[in-house]
Chains A and B, each alone.
Chain A
Amino acid sequence: MHAKPGASPAMPATDSSATYLAAIVASSADAILGTTRDGTIRSWNAACERLFGRAPDEMIGQSVLEIIPGELWDEEQGILARAASGAPVENYETVRLAADGRPIEAAVTLSPIRDAFGVVIGVSSVIRDISEKKQAERGAAMLAAIITSTSDGVVSKTLEGIVTSWNRSAERILGYTEADMLNQSIRRIIPPERQGEEDRILATVLAGDIIDNFETVRIRNDGALIHVAVTVSPVRDAAGRVVGASKIVRDITDKRQTREQLHTLLAEVNHRSKNLLSLVQAIARQMTRQGQRLDLDRFLERLQALAGNQDLLIQNDWRFIPLRDLVRSQLRTFSDAIGGRIRIEGPQIELTPEAAQAIGMAMHELATNAAKYGALANDDGLIDIGWTRDDGRFTLHWIEHGGPRIAPPTRSGFGSKVISDMVRLSVDGTVDVLFPTSGLRWHLNCPIERITRGGGDVGT
């Protein structure tokens, strides 16, 4: 520390060493005070005045405890007694009080003052304000705590790529401990074919630029390749020179998986939507075969039936459709009758999307037919819908009673194609459609694995 030039007295006019020493003390940048053995202040230099905001005439004759917080008085008296007994106490960090009561973090050195006979007659205190240093230490400790606790790997390295720090998350992400990596080359975690990346990273950092969220691959200590995003920034010394690099490593395996899943899903959406358009095209074409005019209402009802299937599929993450939900959805126009004139019974079965489409369309055609000509065309008809699962076979029936007397249809339209050939081919099964006068009887029988992904034992 240097005295301010203005505060420094001229060279002493006398060569008396006592005066000379007194001048040094008076002009010292460190606060220096002297006390008697019991702590009464005897001297108080200019730096004391600056540090504590109290003038010498205010302080001389007062107890040194004036500038010490009450809770430290006991400690101070012990230290003072130790110095008074002849043992110096060097640089102990403590707290002093300014005139306005503000605490000052200080490093204090106490030395005994002896007379010509070597008898301790007092104690000198050199008090250095270390508030800024302590503040900086706390700041550094805070940063260190942040780096220790962050979920990102934080690593520093020299411009040669030698690791100088390695936090806990770097350990977690890359598997290597701090001890494994300190003073080792960062190239250890870089796959052989990507070593060129490190050259470019170091060159970029040396030029003072930042590499932001660069997605790449690194090697864990177990040899596994992991996807990471790295951000590398230059570290500068006080003079602004780039002396190293800090590197933040984030594990992006999850992010990549999410992205891949999204990509797969979009491909699936693309495929399914175009397939659906093909299906709409096929329905329109089959409904207008042999010069028939398109029955627009029926066409739109069929599109609604397909759309209903899609809703159910989305509700189940596009994986399956519960058969019961499918049947209820296709009969929603008659939902008041469900549980009354329409009885639905069967175990829980999760249909594949493909089977759900075929069976859903068949249910729609059967319901439309029942409303026009069958059990739902009068006020008394009943429909039994039921399914079973036995010995690897699936059966589904739709049996009508009590409707108007019926006769077999005279020609086979699109609807009858859907309830017979379409569903039969789709699930690799057999379909029987009978037309006794009591009402239509429809039976489907197919291997269970054609309609559900889980085989025979799902959802019992």
Chain B
Amino acid sequence: MSERESARILIVEDDPLIGFDLAVELEAHGFAIVGVAPTVAKALALFQDHGCDVAILDVNLGRETSAPIARTLAAAQVPFIAVTGYSLDQCPNEFAAVPLLSKPFQTARLVTELRRQLPHA
């Protein structure tokens, strides 16, 4: 397994089943999962404690959006990918210049996008 495929990934997704499924899928593709966070607070805490190489952000987290996480990641120069059921123009500005996958998506597309975002890819 190559160096980059054990990259550490933070998943932010408020639906636990979707988050769990995503984690299982990515582990099967050789990625390491830092954690699945359903809220901004949990995501920021996970990032603080463990960091990550790349993050996957569900834009809408029910009662909040993941915009604050996007700002923190951008400030730390950590790449991230947005996944959402919204169309691009419905997303906060923080996601304007970010790769966006529209739900539902195939794992292969996500994996391609993750590899593109990783350093030394």
Contact = CB atoms under 8 A, between A and B. Distances in A.
Interface stretch (B10-18, B48-56, B73-81): B10-18
Contacts of A335: none
B17 to A, nearest CB: 5
Contacts of A274: 84-85, 102-104
A164 B17 CA distance: 68
B67 to A, nearest CB: 15
Contacts of A270: 85-87, 90
A418 to B, nearest CB: 7
Contacts of B18: 275, 278-279, 282
A76 interface: no
Interface string A252-290: 000000000000000100111111011111110110010
Given A285-B21, A285-B25, A358-B16, A425 B38 contact: yes
Contacts of A280: 104
Contacts of B87: 267, 270
Given A278-B103, A425-B36, A272 B17 contact: no
> B interface, by DSSP: helix, strand, loop or mixed?
mixed
B86 A286 contact: no
B104 A271 contact: no
Nearest to A266: B90
Nearest to B38: A425
Contacts, number: 76
B14 A279 contact: no
Contacts of A267: 86-87, 90
A285 B25 CA distance: 9
A431 B32 CA distance: 26
B17 A352 contact: no
A422 B24 contact: no
A93 interface: no
- Interface size bracket, B side: 20 to 34
Contacts of B102: 274
Interface in A416-446: 417-418, 421-423, 425-426, 428
Contacts of B38: 425-426, 428
B85 A273 contact: yes
B50 to A, nearest CB: 17
Interface in B50-76: 60, 62-63
Contacts of B63: 352
Nearest to A286: B21
5 contacts: A283-B17, A285-B24, A286-B21, A354-B62, A422-B16
Interface of B: 14-22, 24-25, 36, 38, 60, 62-63, 84-87, 90, 102-104
The 6 closest A-B pairs by CB, nearest first: A274-B85, A282-B21, A425-B16, A271-B85, A278-B104, A274-B103
Given A271-B85, A275-B18, A289-B24, 8 more contacts: A274-B103, A275-B85, A280-B104, A286-B21, A354-B14, A354-B15, A421-B16, A428-B38
